[in-house]
Amino acid sequence: MEKYEVNVKRWLSSPKVDSPTKAIIEKMSAKEREDAFYKDIEFGTAGMRGIMGPGTNRFNIHTLRKANIGFAKYLLANFKDARERGVVIAHDNREGADTFQNLCAEILNDFGIKVYVFDSLRPTPELSFAVRYLNTVGGIMITASHNPKEYNGYKIYDEFGAQLVPEKIAPLIDIINKLGDELNVSYEKMTPRGELILLDDKVDEEYVKLVLNISLNKELDKSNFRIVFTPQHGASYANAMRVFKTLGYDIYPVLSQCSPDPNFSGTITPNPEDPRAYVDAIKLAKEVNANLIVTTDPDGDRCGLGFLNKKGEYTLLTGNQSAVMLLDYILKMRKEKGLLSNDGVVYNTIVTSPFGNDIAKSYGMKVEPFLTGFKFIGEQIHRHEVNGGPHFEFGYEESYGCLIKDFVRDKDATQAIVMYAEMALYYHLQGLDLDDVYLSLEQKFGFHEDEVYSMNFVGLEGEVKLKNLLKNLRDNPIDYLFDSEVIRLEDYALSIAREGDKVYPLTLPKSDVFRLFLENGDIVAIRPSGTEPKCKFYVMAFAKDGSVKGRAKLLYDALLEKLNLK
């Protein structure tokens, strides 16, 4: 009997599984059962995330319960004052969010741990802030970020407001793995139980106050500058609208996408990386002749942009494009105002465009790249804070996430909203659109075309195919791609880089990521997604002149041929 069949039988025979859930399992096809039960749901780059439904490989009350019991034990083992300091929990608009939050709170209370909860949905960055503001030993965010409506997830935060990095997750996973199967995990309830505290609006007020203070040019003339905003039915609506109105912007929300709807009925997709997320926003922008479109994802940590160009058309920006312009704007304004540190650092990731590196260095900044996942940036901010520098100036990823001020230790779309709007307005008052700004940066630092492609590898069969792909890449290294020689190969699973016959160590944590460096300056990265059954291909094409256009797709097609995926 296959493993998934054993798990199915276990669930169908267990009194812990209710009748409606068993009925769903019985109606599943063999393929659906295999995908739902062939393995345990895993922790990825952003905690535990998966499709909601019955199964060991699904997000449900049983898999969440096991993980959260493990987290309670982890906290008590690592913090003598865990019960007194407590944990803060928040959720976004996802289906079952209240149920999952209440389950987490109940378990922690059973272990004698104090729990703080909000009265309704809140964005992820505010949860990160609340951990720090309330001085708790950790935080929990119930969210699946930008994933489709079928998903939900469980992000865990440390006592400094950052998501747990691998060295902290490893002992937690060890605890979870020793608990037994997800249906039969038991624990002894402690006396007295932990206190459950409903937060008032003080946390909101303090968070928004700090967000407002990041503005560098509050007094810019905002007349004749209109912004369309959509939270994609998510958690950032209240904070974003409060910030926009306080700063005096002429704001037009996409009303059909403002309610916290778990079905995302007013949008094609809630993912700012997908152009379909902007359809209704562009329609409204045309009606009101808006200068800027801003969208956040459901849990309010990612921010996407569109703008009105000189041709009267709306152009969407990639996460790389918007971030490098914002990086330049922030460093330029801080330098002009004497606010730029002499010992500053900018953080990004190994799959982010190298464009921003040159910009940061032109302002005298250090640049430190990390693996994908803002938790690594959050951890490094704390490490440098403790050690006295370098001073954090900006952090960003290609996936539409950035952080301007470190009172939050995760990417923060509300902070991004403030600065993206200010940046666009600043250039608008000079008669420049964001196309002009981006072109001027390319003319100074070189031309970049950065694209992210993805390929699905669903279920057990897909997982095997993906493992074989990575094995093949490792066993048969690519030495030539399209029209250029590969001069360096980085294999983060083996922690080595190869340049010809020479081998160098890599110091970042182990991860199934490859980077290919081409002789002409192009870079290609290959990385399995940490939250979805897919592999991502990051293509970063470079040219000193403008001949780079279209090159990313040519490189991607050549890569697929090399990997026998075409």
Residue 237 has pLDDT above 70, yes or no: yes
pLDDT for residue 121: 97
User: Which tens digit of pLDDT belongs to each residue from 154-206?
Assistant: 999 999 999 999 999 999 999 999 999 999 999 999 999 999 999 999 999 99
Which residues, 6+ apart, have CB-to-CB distance to 49 below 8 Å? 59, 144, 145, 147, 151, 152, 153, 154, 531
pLDDT for residue 460: 83
Superfamily of domain 208-445 in CATH is Alpha-D-Glucose-1,6-Bisphosphate, subunit A, domain 3 (3.40.120.10)
Active site residues: 145
Token pair belonging to 391? 């001073």
List the one residue out of 511, 525, 535, 513 whose CA is nearest residue 458. Answer: 535
How many other C-beta atoms can be found within 10 angstroms of the C-beta atom of residue 442?
A: 19
- Provide the mean pLDDT of the chain: 95
Report the length, in residues, of the chain: 566
Average pLDDT over residues 198-225: 97
pLDDT for residue 545: 82
- For residue 304, how far is the Cα from the chain centroid? 13
Residue 45 has pLDDT above 70, yes or no: no
pLDDT for residue 255: 97
pLDDT for residue 313: 96
Residue 1 has pLDDT above 80, yes or no: no
Strand 480-481 vs strand 484-491: parallel, antiparallel, or unpaired? antiparallel
The residue to which tokens 């464009």 are assigned: 355
pLDDT range class, residue 102, cuts 50, 70, 90? very high
Average pLDDT over residues 80-97: 97
Residue 44 has pLDDT above 70, yes or no: no
Label residues 234-248 b or e (16+ Cβ within 10 Å = b).
bbbbbbbbbbbeebe
Q: How far apart are the C-alpha atoms of 427 and 424, rounded to whole Å? A: 5
User: Which tens digit of pLDDT belongs to each residue from 277-286?
Assistant: 999 999 999 9
Residue 69 has pLDDT above 90, yes or no: yes
39-200 to CATH, choices 3.90.25.10, 3.40.120.10, 3.30.1600.10, 3.10.180.10? 3.40.120.10
Q: Where in the chain is the domain with CATH 3.30.310.50?
A: 447-562
- Hey, what long-range contacts does 498-505 have (CB within 8 A, 24 or more apart)? none
Q: Where in the chain is the domain with CATH 3.40.120.10?
A: 39-200, 208-445
Say what percent of the chain tops pLDDT 70. 99
pLDDT range class, residue 230, cuts 50, 70, 90? very high
User: Which tens digit of pLDDT belongs to each residue from 429-475?
Assistant: 999 999 999 999 999 999 999 999 999 998 888 888 998 889 888 98
pLDDT range class, residue 389, cuts 50, 70, 90? confident
Residue 317 has pLDDT above 70, yes or no: yes
pLDDT for residue 529: 83
Q: What is the DSSP string of 490-538?
A: EETTTTEEEETTEEEE--SPP-S-EEEEETTS-EEEEEE-SSSSEEEEE
What's the alpha-carbon Rg for the chain, to the nearest Å?
24
What is the model's pTM? 0.95
Residue 46 has pLDDT above 70, yes or no: no
447-562 to CATH, choices 3.30.310.50, 3.90.1200.10, 3.40.50.150, 3.40.190.10? 3.30.310.50
Residue 293 has pLDDT above 80, yes or no: yes
Contact criterion met (CB below 8 Å) for 356 and 404: no
pLDDT for residue 543: 92
User: Which tens digit of pLDDT belongs to each residue from 519-548?
Assistant: 999 999 999 987 778 899 999 999 988 789
- Hey, what long-range contacts does 104-110 have (CB within 8 A, 24 or more apart)? 104/64, 104/68, 104/140, 104/142, 104/154, 105/196, 107/65, 107/68, 107/69, 107/72, 108/68, 108/71, 108/72, 108/194, 109/193, 109/194, 109/195, 109/196, 110/72, 110/187, 110/189, 110/190, 110/193, 110/194
**Would you say the C-alpha torsion 149, 461, 528, 277 has a positive or negative sign?**
negative
